[in-house]
Amino acid sequence: HRHLLGIEGLSADEITRLLDLSQSYAERPKDDHRARSLLSGRTVMNLFFENSTRTLTSFELAAKRLGADVINMAVSTSSIKKGETLLDTAMTLNAMGPDVLIVRHPESGAVSLLSQKVDGAVVNAGDGRHEHPTQALLDALTIRRRRGRIQGLIVAICGDVLHSRVARSNIHLLTKLGAKVRVIAPTTLLPSQIDKMGVEVFTDMRKGLKDADVVMMLRLQLERMQGAYVPSIREYFHFYGLDYDKLEIAKPDAIIMHPGPMNRGVEIDSELADDINRSVIREQVEMGVAVRMACLDALTRDLTGANT
Ligand code: CP
């Protein structure tokens, strides 16, 4: 079986095919009957070991729109609370024969490990700081719809890059499709391997934002900063928060993105986040459903060629 574990192992062609299929789903009416029967008789299980609003809901909606039977296993009321391990849980669910398992886990690599033990296709819905492939695909689809292309665009990814699987998946995807990717962060929030990722690194936001076409803000992941450097919120917003003043440095028509959930007033000014002339955050969420329909479609038809 094929899985979707990350963007890193996909080729530019495979990514483009998934984006084209996602776009075709974005254009279809919600009640399209052909789409409804595509996964009829198939079972999709959501297994989330970490909280989610957008990813879980949109995978459920996507699977239902394709006619699948969908199970959301609530980890907090499952036998994991009695000490059953990740792999025993996976094997238990596997015995019920799901066609697709969608998994989120706080440990990098846990989803890949699980994929080696089950018979169905596995989709990584976010593993630790490693990858969140469907988020990068929905971000790319949003950029493509707003800008018509990805090749040659300057994309500035700003904030807590160190803890961000969204940043990592986006860096892989955007560099493969020929964007010029910049990361902007304090040195304490940059991963040590960042200079091997094909991006330009800035610690001064006013320099990094110059002429950017896309400004992608990241959530400050305070829950992952046990004992490490935790900046004061006021200081962080002053240097790395996006507001109208700093946005002036980017291109006049630059779009603002955020994967959500946002910390308003920490990494992004609250008014700017809601500014429909600049912010495409709502469209990102909307594209999430189309992208997840495309991924479920491709995986169950074995079209991705992805086994990463
Ligand atoms: N962007 C994202 O993954 O959001 P959730 O954590 O709400 O799924």
pLDDT tens, 186-229? 999 999 999 999 999 999 999 999 999 999 999 998 777 766 66
How far, in Å, is the centroid of ligand 1 from the Cα of 10? 22
For ligand 1, residues with CB inside 6 Å are 52-55, 126, 135, 259-261
Residues at the annotated binding site for L-aspartate? 82, 165, 219
pLDDT tens, residue by residue, 119-142 = 999 999 999 999 999 999 999 999
Mean pLDDT over residues 249-264, rounded?
97
Report how far residue 172's alpha carbon sits from residue 157's, in angstroms, rounded to the nearest whole number.
Answer: 12
Q: Which residue has the tokens 């492939």?
A: 133
pLDDT band at residue 308 using 50, 70 and 90 as cut-offs: very low
In the annotated binding site, the residues are 54-55, 82, 104, 132, 135, 165, 219, 260-261
For 152, left (φ over 0), alpha (ψ -120 to 50), or beta? left
Q: What is the mean pLDDT of the chain?
A: 94
C-alpha–C-alpha distance, residues 305 and 298, integer Å: 9
pLDDT reported for residue 168: 98
The encoded tokens of residue 162 equal: 């160190």
Instruction: Kindly list the distances between the CA atom of residue 201 and the CA atoms of 64, 101, 187, 197, 307, in Å, as whole numbers in the listed order.
Output: 41, 36, 10, 10, 30
What pLDDT is attached to residue 305?
A: 43
Q: How far apart are CA 99 and CA 48, in angstroms?
A: 17
1 falls in which pLDDT band (50, 70, 90)?
low
Element (H, E) at 93: helix 86-94
Beta 255-257 vs 214-217: how paired, if at all?
parallel
